[in-house]
Amino acid sequence: MGYRILVVEDDGVTALSLQDVLRRLEHDVVALASTGREAIMLAEAEQPDIILMDIWLAGPMSGIEAARQIRQRLDIPIVFVTAHSDESTLRQAQGAQPYGFVLKPFDQNDLRVAIEVALHKHRIDGHLQRSERRFATTLEAIGEAVISTDARGMVDFINGAADALTGVAAGQALGKPVASFLKLVDPKSREPLAADRPWNGEAVLVDVTGREVPVVCSIANISSDRAEAAGQVMVLRDVTEDRRTAELLERQRVEEIIAEVSEAERRRFGQDLHDGLGQMLTGVAFLCKTLEQKLASRSQQEAADAKNISDLLGDAIQSTRKLARGLLPVPPQPDGLVMALKNLADQITSQFQIECAVLEASSAQISDPGIATHLFRIVQEAVNNAVKHAGAQRIDICLQAEQTTGYLSVKDNGRGLWGEASGRGSGLDIMRHRAATIGGSLRVSADPGGGTVMTCRFPLKP
C-alpha cells in the first residue's frame, strides 16, 4: 500500500523526477512545494504521511527551518533530500530532528528504503510517546510520591503527590539532585540515609523547611544495557494517617479491655454483695426477728430495741439489694435481660411519673451475661437521655430477634435527638462503644412523628 507524500523541492526537474519515482513505487504525491512557507501551508492542509524536503530552498526560509516549524505543529516524519553531505550542513539539519537523509543523485531503491525506515521509526516513536504519556499519567494518578533521576542523579520526573509531600514544585525540582530539597533519616538512629542507593523500609522525610514526615520508602535502580544504573526511582508513601489510625485502634482496643474488665469486676462485686453480704444480713435479720418475738412474749422492754435493730437490718438488706441490682442489673438467665428491662421501665414510671413500657420482648433470649449487660446499659443510657434531655412523657422499649440478628430500640416522644444534647453529656459515644463491643451497631435518629429513636442491631449467639 502506498503512502501520501508531500515533496518540497525548489528545482522543478528534481521535483518531477522525485514525483515520477514515487509513483513507480505506488505512492501518492499529494502536492509539490518549492518554498518553505508553501511547504508549511501544504503540510497543514494535506496532512501527508511523510514529507521529502530539500535542505536548501529558494526564498528566505530554508528546508531546515521549514522542517523545524512543521515538527512543532504537526506529527509528520520528514526525510531530507540533499546534495550537501558536509558536516556543517548535517549538523544544522539534525536540529530539525529528521527521520532520515537521501543524498542526490538518488535512485528508486534509496527512496524506498529511506521512506520505509522513516515511517517505521515514526511508528515506534509514536508507540513510545503514547507509552510514556500513559506511564506519566499513571504516576500522576497514584497516591504515592514518585521521583526519578537520570544517570547523573538529577531529577527528571516528580509527580503531584511528591510535590505535596516535599513541598517543592516540579519546576523547582527538575534538573536538581534529590538531596537539594529533601533528605531521609533512619527513624531509630536518626542517621541520614543515602538517597542514591537502593533501599526499602521506613524512614523520616525532612523537607527544606525542616518539617518531618514518617514515610515508607523504596529506592530502586533503573537498569540499562550496560552494567551501571541509568538512574533511580524513589517511591514514598506518607504513613502519618496510618500511624494515627493504628494508634486510634490500639487506644480503642485498650478501652475495650478496660471496659470489659470493669464490667466483669462490677458483676463480680454485685454477685458478692447479693450472695455474700446480702445473705449474711438476711440471716442476722432472721435471728433478730426471732429474738424480738421471744422478748415480746416475755414482755421485756428490750423487745422494742430488738424491733428497731430488725427494722434497720431490713433497710440495710434493701439497700444492699439495690446496690447489687445496680452492679448486676441483669439476672444470669436467658430471660434475665427482659426482666431487667421491665424492672427499669417500672422504676422510671414510678420515679418520674411518665409512661415507660417494654414491648415485644418475649422472642429475644440473651444467654450471654456480658452481652445482656451491655444491652441493658445502652437502654439505661437512652432512657435517661429521654427523661433528662428531651422531656419525654412516653418511652417504649422493644427487644426483638430475627434469625441470627437482634434488634433493640428505645423510642420516646420528647424533643428530637434528645433535645439536641447528643454531643453534650448524652453518653452516645459510650453507647456506640458498647454496641461495637458486642459486634453490633447503633443508630440515633429523629422520629418523623416527633421524638427520638435509638436502634441497636447486634448478632445473636447460638
Contact, 340 vs 376, CB < 8 A?
Answer: yes
Do 424 and 352 lie in one domain? The reply is yes
- Residue 423 has a pLDDT of 46
Do 172 and 228 lie in one domain? The reply is yes
Q: How remote is the C-alpha of 9 from its chain's centroid? A: 61
Do 367 and 426 lie in one domain? The reply is yes
- Residue 224 has a pLDDT of 62
- Residue 422 has a pLDDT of 46
> pLDDT (tens digit, 0 to 9) for every residue of the chain, 462 residues total?
689 999 999 888 888 988 988 999 999 999 999 998 999 999 999 999 999 999 888 889 998 899 999 999 999 999 998 887 777 778 888 888 898 888 888 888 888 998 999 999 999 988 888 887 887 777 777 778 888 888 888 888 888 888 888 888 777 888 888 888 888 888 888 888 876 678 788 888 888 788 888 888 888 887 765 656 678 888 888 888 877 877 777 877 777 677 677 666 666 666 666 567 667 777 777 787 787 788 777 766 777 777 778 777 777 776 666 665 656 677 777 788 888 899 899 989 999 999 999 987 666 778 888 888 899 989 999 999 999 888 899 999 999 988 889 999 999 998 877 755 544 445 788 889 889 889 999 999 988 888 899 999 999 876
Residue that is last in its domain, among 327, 346, 370: 327
What is the residue range of 250's domain? 244-327
Do 272 and 255 lie in one domain? The reply is yes
Do 175 and 126 lie in one domain? The reply is no
Do 262 and 315 lie in one domain? The reply is yes
Say how many CA atoms lie within 13 Å of 33 toward its Cβ. 31
Do 10 and 122 lie in one domain? The reply is yes
Three-class secondary structure of residue 399 per DSSP:
strand
Please report the DSSP string for 66-127 in residue order.
Answer: HHHHHHHH----EEEEES---HHHHHHHHTT--S-EEESS--HHHHHHHHHHHHHHHHHHHH
Residue 282 CB contacts under 8 Å (≥ 6 apart), including other chains: 317
Helix count and strand count (H, E) for the chain? 14, 17
Residue that is last in its domain, among 137, 163, 183: 137
Three-class secondary structure of residue 250 per DSSP:
helix
Number of domains composing the chain: 4
Do 285 and 360 lie in one domain? The reply is no
Q: How remote is the C-alpha of 69 from its chain's centroid? A: 47
Residue 264 CB contacts under 8 Å (≥ 6 apart), including other chains: 370
CATH number at residue 198: 3.30.450.20
Residue that is last in its domain, among 196, 218, 238: 238
First vs last C-alpha separation in the chain: 77
Do 229 and 274 lie in one domain? The reply is no
CATH number at residue 103: 3.40.50.2300
- CA–CA dist 252, 75 (Å, integer): 60
Contact, 153 vs 177, CB < 8 A?
Answer: yes
Record the pTM: 0.45
Do 115 and 169 lie in one domain? The reply is no
Do 225 and 272 lie in one domain? The reply is no
- CA–CA dist 64, 56 (Å, integer): 8
Do 17 and 117 lie in one domain? The reply is yes
C-alpha grid cell, residue 258: 478496660
60 prior amide bond cis, ω within 30: no
